[in-house]
Amino acid sequence: MDAALEQGLPAEEFARQALNALAAGQAHVVIGGGKERLAMYLDRLSPAITRQLMRRVKVV
């Protein structure tokens, strides 16, 4: 397993977030931590800035 996978979201946490979203009847769900949610909102605000940042950020 590489470093990105080792530091990723545990399967149990993913399952908890997914089941909670399904139980709440949410139509659109972002599963992840704070960085992922921030990236989603930033992408809605400015896709161009998000693309530039994604080129520079190390994915882990």
pLDDT computed for residue 58 by the predictor: 76
Q: How many domains does the chain have?
A: 1
What does the pLDDT look like over 2-58, one tens digit per residue? 777 788 889 999 999 999 999 999 998 888 888 888 989 999 999 999 999 989 987
Alpha-carbon distance values, 25 to 5, 21, 41 (Å)? 29, 6, 21
DSSP output for 16-27: HHHHHHHHHT-S
Would the pTM of this model clear 0.85, i.e. be above it?
A: no
Alpha helices in the chain (DSSP H): 3-6, 11-24, 34-45, 47-56
Q: Which amino acid is at 41?
A: Y
17: containing domain: 3-56
Q: Using alpha carbons only, how large is the chain's radius of gyration in Å?
A: 14
